[in-house]
């Protein structure tokens, strides 16, 4: 044994101290006669080491690309080896589920498919989001969601698959981003569970296989949440700028809906970011500037380009994108004052239709009204339970009670942590997303569709994943086992209620989910506290005094109960999601899952109380003859029926054998457009190269049907609602004289019972609000009185290349 005579002065470290950390001493034994100390309980949300950032700058790109395959397969170095294969399997399963049978939905929402077709043929139409390659009018949203579809159509040719596949791939990307966001602070279990919950959400299975803007909106907002949580970790300005860019792009996807979660995100960063207050303020200003630039450049171009050099801004009443943003697509959605919309305001119907639904004020009987409108407002009853009622609950609400319970639990469990704790920050971010969006949807009086609730799916999934992660880690502690069991029991009972609204759908599933969920909850509450003890003593007892063998048995029982509980909690939404994937969806208003009491039927009709025999009725579903445009004049009679909203029995791209004619949303093909025969499509193609527009017709859905069937531009007079003052009669006559339009297709401009075409008093432009006849109705009246009708394939054409009669 060697020694040294050098002893450092007091307070001076040994020369080798940096290489030899001090030994870990065992805890001091308890005083004699006292009970042994129990080890400290591990925290509910322990800190996980963040993945290394790696080298930065252009010099590192080659290395990053070279190591990408290995890093993709292996994942984080601290992850167990099963984690990354499990994630890749989840992404592959999501891709298979969402891509399977994708073309069965035909053109899905023809309104957006026609714009994608136009963008694949004309770069000007691509930039502005025009409905046609002739650039007459745009869709009523910014164009960003159309660009992936149009580029796909340019690359692979126009087809239903090329239009819808980008949406399905966005679902895979959203699951990956959601996993990465949750996993940064929580366990792999939390990230994987969040991804599974999102993929099996019925409304996600609907909208990520459909071509509305909502899929891209959800992906961009999930990326914004990821950027915000990365920014909070180190008070990083770069990540906050990234978040602002994502919000700006989301604005170019669906305007102001992108900003519903913005106040919560900004407030969270302002409070919890680990830096000084004024630096936080400056960083938020930088993120806001990035948002304005990312979302405002396109708006500036549209507003600065002369109106004569660009298409009309669809959905607006003054050809201004700003007024569209803050009016019809903005404040009007909240207060119901939507000039140019269906009915012109909350609870209003066009003149002549008020009495048709038993309400002199223009509304429908309590609980039912046309076109998805019911109760106290034009678009449904508002209130705190709105998202849990009727057919809305089956879209998103399966795990919303659990998400709210777990949000409260997460905030309570992290209450004593530091202001900058990232676990609590995650609960604040996702909880703020959920509450801001849910409350807005619950109380907005304007246009509201059930599929809007897809915006809640990432928040619900993340809260479930994070909350279950903490509770499962603490399942051996009785209070937390009780919370976990109670959350599961509430979820099972609520699934039983939701499944009861579709009594003919898998009748065995309802009692199975209830029984499995309740049994699993009891097992977790009883066996959980006996299992998962962190250590065993030499005498064969667990640290809590229970025999080790009993603890092992309780652990196995808890694991089985956890699997059964997960299956019960996800059984209902999974069945709805699979049924949604297996069912074609077309039209403007679509629903996930099977038909429910008070939901939509074939072609878009709504079921509700008030039938002759006291049972449910289906408002205004009438057989549609071949070639007849959806929304032909006349009122159908209520009848007993079932079915699914927005879906067609024929599974093709057309609207099928039903037309919804019972209210404003059925007029002018507002739901599904026209069924176009081969003869009519062939007539449009003849000589189309000599005209800017092969035809003009009323409403964007009708125009889209003819355009997609023929492949030639069709002018959509009046835009989506046929109410936009997009073209005056004199301007249309000028187009005809210049030989720019070949045919006019009679589309049945708004006709109410007892009224003339377009003769409503609901607003400027006819169905949307104002006084006097709409410009579209004036054009149709002039054409029908000066040109000879010609019926081809069930459609009525007027040849505008002929000289008009006096």
CA atoms within 13 A on the CB side of 266: 16
8 Å CB contact between 216 and 208: no
Rounded to 5 degrees, φ, ψ at 212 are -75, 165
Residue pLDDT, tens place only, 790-805: 999 889 999 999 988 8
Choose among 764, 669, 645, 762: nearest CA to 720.
Answer: 669
Q: What is the pLDDT of residue 573?
A: 97
In three-state secondary structure terms, 356 is helix
CA atoms within 13 A on the CB side of 256: 15
Mean pLDDT of the chain: 80
Q: What is the pLDDT of residue 410?
A: 95
Residue pLDDT, tens place only, 538-547: 444 444 444 5
- Mean per-residue pLDDT, 590-600: 80
CB atoms within 10 A of CB 307: 13
| pLDDT of 80 over the 50 cut | yes
505 compared with 73, residue with greater pLDDT = 505
Q: What is the pLDDT of residue 23?
A: 55
The encoded tokens of residue 771 equal 């006084």
Residue 556: its H or E element = helix 548-581
| pLDDT of 203 over the 70 cut | yes
Position of tokens 């996800």? 570
Question: Alpha helices of 187-339 — where are they, by DSSP H?
Answer: 188-199, 202-207, 214-234, 237-254, 262-272, 277-304, 321-326, 332-335
| pLDDT of 429 over the 50 cut | yes
> Where does the pLDDT of residue 381 fall: very low under 50, low under 70, confident under 90, or very high at 90 and above?
confident
> Where does the pLDDT of residue 672 fall: very low under 50, low under 70, confident under 90, or very high at 90 and above?
low
Q: What is the pLDDT of residue 365?
A: 34
Cα dist. 310→306, 364, 721 in Å? 7, 40, 20
| pLDDT of 59 over the 80 cut | no
> Where does the pLDDT of residue 663 fall: very low under 50, low under 70, confident under 90, or very high at 90 and above?
very low
8 Å CB contact between 291 and 245: yes
The encoded tokens of residue 178 equal 């959601």
Q: What is the pLDDT of residue 587?
A: 86
C-alpha 445/C-alpha 447 separation (Å) is 7
Residue 618: its H or E element = strand 617-618
- Mean per-residue pLDDT, 412-421: 91
Handedness of CA 775, 777, 780, 785 (dihedral sign): negative
Residue pLDDT, tens place only, 756-788: 333 333 333 333 333 335 888 899 999 999 999
- Mean per-residue pLDDT, 335-353: 52
| pLDDT of 516 over the 90 cut | yes
C-alpha 209/C-alpha 202 separation (Å) is 11
Cα dist. 402→200, 363, 408, 569 in Å? 15, 35, 10, 10
Q: Burial letters for 592-605: b for 16+ Cβ neighbours within 10 Å, e otherwise?
A: bbbbbbbbbbbbbb
Q: Give the alpha-carbon dihedral of 161, 591, 407, 521, to 10 degrees.
A: -100
The encoded tokens of residue 677 equal 């025969």
Q: What is the pLDDT of residue 3?
A: 46
Residue 799: its H or E element = strand 795-799
Q: What is the pLDDT of residue 95?
A: 97
Residue pLDDT, tens place only, 446-496: 889 999 999 999 999 999 999 999 999 999 899 999 999 999 999 999 999
Q: What is the pLDDT of residue 332?
A: 78
Q: What is the pLDDT of residue 17?
A: 46
- Mean per-residue pLDDT, 94-110: 94
The encoded tokens of residue 656 equal 């099928």
8 Å CB contact between 160 and 653: yes
Q: What strands, in cross-sheet order, belong to the sheet with 795-799?
A: 714-717, 693-698, 741-745, 795-799, 789-792
The lowest-confidence range among 48-52, 154-158, 643-647 is 643-647
8 Å CB contact between 316 and 323: yes
8 Å CB contact between 517 and 511: no
C-alpha 93/C-alpha 300 separation (Å) is 42
Choose among 778, 766, 776: nearest CA to 137.
Answer: 776
| pLDDT of 375 over the 50 cut | no
* E strand spans, 651-692: 658-660
Q: What is the pLDDT of residue 476?
A: 87
| pLDDT of 609 over the 70 cut | no
> Where does the pLDDT of residue 666 fall: very low under 50, low under 70, confident under 90, or very high at 90 and above?
very low
Q: What is the pLDDT of residue 26?
A: 59
Give me the percent of the chain exceeding a pLDDT of 90: 59
| pLDDT of 347 over the 50 cut | no
Q: Is 628 exposed, middle or buried (0-12, 13-18, 19+ CB in 10 A)?
A: middle
Q: What is the pLDDT of residue 562?
A: 93
H and E: helices and strands count for the chain:
25, 9
Q: What is the pLDDT of residue 529?
A: 82
Choose among 535, 525, 405: nearest CA to 475.
Answer: 525
**Residue 287: which residues within 8 A CB-CB, separation 6 or more?**
240, 241, 243, 244
Choose among 643, 640, 705, 641: nearest CA to 668.
Answer: 705
| pLDDT of 520 over the 90 cut | yes
Measure CA of the first residue to CA of the last residue in the chain; give whole Å.
123
The lowest-confidence range among 137-146, 269-278, 374-383 is 374-383
Choose among 696, 706, 618, 693: nearest CA to 654.
Answer: 706
231 compared with 543, residue with greater pLDDT = 231
- Mean per-residue pLDDT, 615-621: 32
Choose among 697, 705, 712: nearest CA to 674.
Answer: 705
375 compared with 458, residue with greater pLDDT = 458
C-alpha 351/C-alpha 692 separation (Å) is 36
Longest dimension (CA), the chain: 123
- Mean per-residue pLDDT, 419-440: 96
CB atoms within 10 A of CB 284: 21
**Residue 801: which residues within 8 A CB-CB, separation 6 or more?**
739, 742
- Mean per-residue pLDDT, 252-269: 96
The encoded tokens of residue 1 equal 């044994």
Q: What is the pLDDT of residue 336?
A: 72
Q: What is the pLDDT of residue 33?
A: 63
- Mean per-residue pLDDT, 696-704: 92
| pLDDT of 661 over the 90 cut | no
The lowest-confidence range among 188-197, 325-334, 382-391 is 325-334
Q: What is the pLDDT of residue 153?
A: 96
Residue 396: its H or E element = helix 390-396
Q: What is the pLDDT of residue 600?
A: 52
C-alpha 638/C-alpha 625 separation (Å) is 18
380 compared with 743, residue with greater pLDDT = 743
Q: Tell me if the pTM is above 0.85.
A: no
The encoded tokens of residue 348 equal 């209003």
Cα dist. 706→678, 680, 731 in Å? 10, 8, 23
The lowest-confidence range among 95-99, 535-539, 747-751 is 535-539
66 compared with 612, residue with greater pLDDT = 66
- Mean per-residue pLDDT, 720-730: 89
> What long-range pairs does 493-496 form, CB within 8 A, spacing at least 24?
493/517, 493/518, 494/397, 494/398, 494/401, 495/398, 495/568, 495/569, 495/571, 495/572
Q: What is the pLDDT of residue 6?
A: 47
790 compared with 331, residue with greater pLDDT = 790
Q: What is the pLDDT of residue 400?
A: 97
CA angle 633/636/641 to nearest 5° reads 140
Q: What is the pLDDT of residue 445?
A: 86
| pLDDT of 675 over the 60 cut | yes
Q: What is the pLDDT of residue 53?
A: 63
| pLDDT of 559 over the 80 cut | yes
8 Å CB contact between 700 and 111: yes
| pLDDT of 2 over the 90 cut | no
The encoded tokens of residue 435 equal 């509450």
DSSP 8-state secondary structure symbol assigned to residue 227:
H
């Amino acid at each position: 044994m060697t020694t040294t005579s050098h002893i450092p002065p007091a307070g001076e470290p040994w020369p080798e101290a940096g290489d030899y950390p001090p030994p870990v001493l065992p805890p001091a034994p308890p005083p004699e006669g006292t009970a042994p100390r129990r080890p400290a309980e591990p925290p509910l949300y322990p800190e996980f080491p963040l993945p290394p950032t790696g080298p930065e700058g252009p010099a590192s790109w080659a290395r990053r690309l070279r190591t990408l395959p290995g890093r993709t397969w292996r994942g984080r170095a601290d992850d167990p080896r099963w984690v990354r294969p499990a994630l890749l399997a989840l992404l592959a399963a999501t891709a298979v589920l969402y891509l399977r049978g994708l073309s069965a939905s035909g053109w899905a929402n023809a309104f957006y498919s026609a714009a994608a077709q136009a963008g694949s043929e004309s770069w000007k139409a691509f930039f502005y989001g025009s409905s046609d390659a002739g650039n007459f009018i745009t869709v009523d949203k910014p164009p960003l969601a159309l660009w992936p579809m149009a580029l796909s159509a340019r690359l692979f040719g126009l087809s239903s698959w090329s239009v819808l596949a980008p949406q399905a791939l966005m679902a895979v990307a959203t699951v990956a981003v959601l996993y990465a966001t949750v996993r940064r602070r929580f366990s792999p279990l939390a990230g994987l569970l969040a991804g599974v919950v999102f993929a099996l959400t019925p409304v996600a299975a609907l909208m990520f296989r459909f071509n509305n803007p909502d899929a891209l909106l959800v992906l961009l907002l999930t990326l914004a949440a990821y950027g915000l949580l990365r920014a909070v970790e180190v008070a990083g300005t770069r990540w906050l700028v990234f978040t602002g860019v994502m919000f700006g792009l989301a604005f170019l996807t669906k305007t102001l809906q992108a900003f519903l979660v913005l106040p919560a995100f900004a407030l969270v960063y302002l409070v919890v970011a680990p830096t000084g207050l004024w630096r936080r303020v400056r960083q938020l200003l930088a993120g806001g500037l990035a948002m304005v630039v990312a979302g405002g450049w396109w708006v500036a171009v549209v507003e600065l380009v002369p109106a004569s050099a660009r298409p009309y801004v669809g959905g607006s009443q003054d050809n201004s994108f700003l007024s569209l943003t803050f009016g019809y697509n903005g404040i009007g959605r909240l207060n119901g004052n939507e000039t140019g919309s269906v009915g012109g305001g909350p609870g209003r119907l066009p003149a002549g239709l008020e009495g048709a639904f038993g309400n002199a004020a223009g509304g429908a009987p309590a609980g039912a009204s046309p076109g998805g409108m019911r109760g106290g407002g034009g678009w449904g009853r508002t209130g705190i339970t709105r998202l849990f009622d009727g057919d809305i609950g089956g879209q998103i609400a399966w795990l919303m009670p659990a998400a709210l319970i777990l949000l409260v639990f997460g905030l309570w469990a992290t209450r004593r942590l530091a202001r900058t704790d990232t676990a609590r920050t995650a609960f604040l971010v996702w909880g703020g997303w959920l509450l801001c969006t849910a409350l807005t949807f619950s109380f907005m009086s304007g246009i509201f569709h059930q599929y809007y609730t897809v915006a809640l799916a990432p928040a619900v999934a993340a809260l479930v994943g994070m909350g279950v992660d903490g509770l499962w880690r603490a399942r051996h502690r009785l209070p937390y086992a009780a919370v976990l069991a109670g959350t599961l029991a509430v979820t099972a009972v609520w699934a039983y209620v939701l499944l009861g609204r579709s009594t003919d759908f898998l009748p065995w599933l309802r009692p199975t989910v209830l029984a499995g969920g309740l049994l699993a909850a009891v097992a977790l509450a009883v066996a959980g506290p006996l299992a998962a003890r962190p250590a065993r003593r030499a005498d064969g007892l667990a640290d809590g005094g229970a025999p080790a063998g009993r603890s092992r048995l309780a652990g196995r029982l808890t694991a089985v109960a956890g699997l059964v509980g997960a299956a019960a909690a996800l059984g209902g939404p999974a069945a709805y999601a699979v049924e949604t994937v297996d069912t074609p969806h077309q039209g403007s208003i679509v629903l996930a899952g099977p038909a429910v009491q008070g939901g939509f039927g074939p072609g878009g009709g709504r079921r509700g109380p008030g039938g002759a025999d006291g049972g449910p009725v289906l408002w205004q579903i009438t057989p549609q003859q071949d070639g007849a445009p959806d929304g032909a004049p006349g009122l159908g009679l209520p009848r007993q029926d079932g079915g699914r909203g927005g879906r067609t029995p024929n599974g093709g791209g057309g609207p099928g054998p039903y037309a919804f004619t019972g209210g404003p949303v059925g007029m002018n093909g507002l739901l599904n457009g026209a069924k176009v025969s081969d003869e009519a499509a062939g007539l449009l193609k003849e000589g189309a190269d000599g005209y800017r527009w092969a035809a003009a017709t009323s409403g964007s859905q009708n125009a889209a049907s003819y355009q997609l069937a023929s492949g030639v531009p069709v002018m959509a007079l009046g835009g989506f609602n046929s109410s936009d003052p997009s073209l005056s009669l004199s301007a249309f006559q000028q187009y005809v004289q210049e030989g720019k339009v070949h045919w006019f297709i009679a589309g049945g401009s708004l006709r109410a019972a007892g009224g003339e075409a377009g003769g409503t008093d609901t607003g400027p432009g006819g169905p949307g609000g104002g006084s006097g006849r709409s410009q579209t109705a004036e054009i149709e009246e002039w054409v029908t009185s000066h040109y000879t009708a010609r019926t081809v394939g069930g459609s009525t054409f007027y040849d505008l290349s002929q000289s008009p009669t006096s």
